[in-house]
Amino acid sequence: MNNITGGNSMYREPIFLEPVFQERIWGGKKIKDEFHYDIPNDKTGEAWVISAHPHGPSVIRNGELAGKTLADAWENHGDLFNKDEKDNEYPLLVKILDANDDLSVQVHPSDDYARNIEKVPYGKTECWYVLSAEEDAELVLGHHAKTKEEFDKMVDNGEWDQLLRKVKVQVGDFFYVPSGTIHAIGKGIVILEIQQSSDITYRVYDYDRVGDDGQPRELHLDKAKEVTVIPHEDVHVEEVVNVYGDLQSRKLVENKYFTVHHWKLDGTTVMKLDVDFLQVSVINGNAEIVIEGKKFSVNKGTNFILPYGIDEYKIEGKAEFVVSHI
């Protein structure tokens, strides 16, 4: 991003976004039950709540660009994001996932592999914030193989119980999932996922399920074997807590792709926008954002971007947010 001072003249307010829904074989209806979204069916697995990805770009709800997509805004109004000429694709994607059944065990490639092999701009490093979880819910994060030979053999022999590393989860847990990490979200878990804007998935194991056509869903074992990190490396993420007025900010992860914070507000705070643009998802409660004296109400399920050029903003209320930026 460049460092031009000033900012955009189009939006001195949040850019509110409509979610895009994706049907999945493992999806359910908790996205409706928990966030009151108007989902198209009871197999809705994903709500892409902040997205400029071609497979489902979010539509802008307010302002001069109402009815346009976030992809349109990024392409034609780069000053909203302090976009540099070198920045081709919108970098991040934020989703809510409802695992009404176990997701397939999968792995994502790195940027280099994605560009060289798949000819797309981004691989996929991601992270998860657990919004709700049924009792004893668990996910797959990593594997137990020590060498590539051992990994390949266990995959070929279908030794999933021995290979896969299971982790119990509860509300508020956070997981960082770098590219090359074997993973799967388990049944009964709803997460907020922040990731690179990529839709490349290599499916490793799918519990022998069949798709709508009655055939087993495609696996991508050769590519998965090429990109999986062996042995699995647990990434230690050191959380940092800061307090700004009545807001507690907990930094969950910071890396070259994204920085993610959890905010807990009970009262009032005044914040500076010190990044190019800020992605905000309200995960609990109600609040008002005040910018240049103008108030905007937000509540659980609201997703928006604070664009470049907003200097200072006030937040009032009792709410929790997950915020992210590059």
How many CB atoms are closer than 10 A to CB 85?
7
What single-letter DSSP state applies at residue 13? S
Cα within 13 Å of Cα(61), Cβ side: 15
Active-site residue, from 12, 61, 115, 203: 203
Cβ(114)–Cβ(120) under 8 Å?
Answer: yes
- From the number of C-beta atoms within 10 Å of its C-beta (0-12, 13-18, 19+), residue 146 rates as exposed
Residues 319 and 22: their CA atoms lie apart, in Å, by 27
- Contact between 306 and 280 under an 8 Å Cβ cutoff? The reply is yes
Integer angstrom CA distances of residue 321 from 117, 227, 280, 300? 37, 33, 7, 9
**Catalytic annotation present for 24:** no
* DSSP of 72-133: HHHHH-GGGTT--TT--S--EEEEEEEESSPPPEEE---HHHIIIII--S----EEEEEEEE
| Enclosing H/E stretch for 216 | none
Q: How far is CA 199 from CA 23, 121, 184, 267, 311, in A?
A: 14, 11, 15, 38, 33
Q: Which residues are catalytic?
A: 203
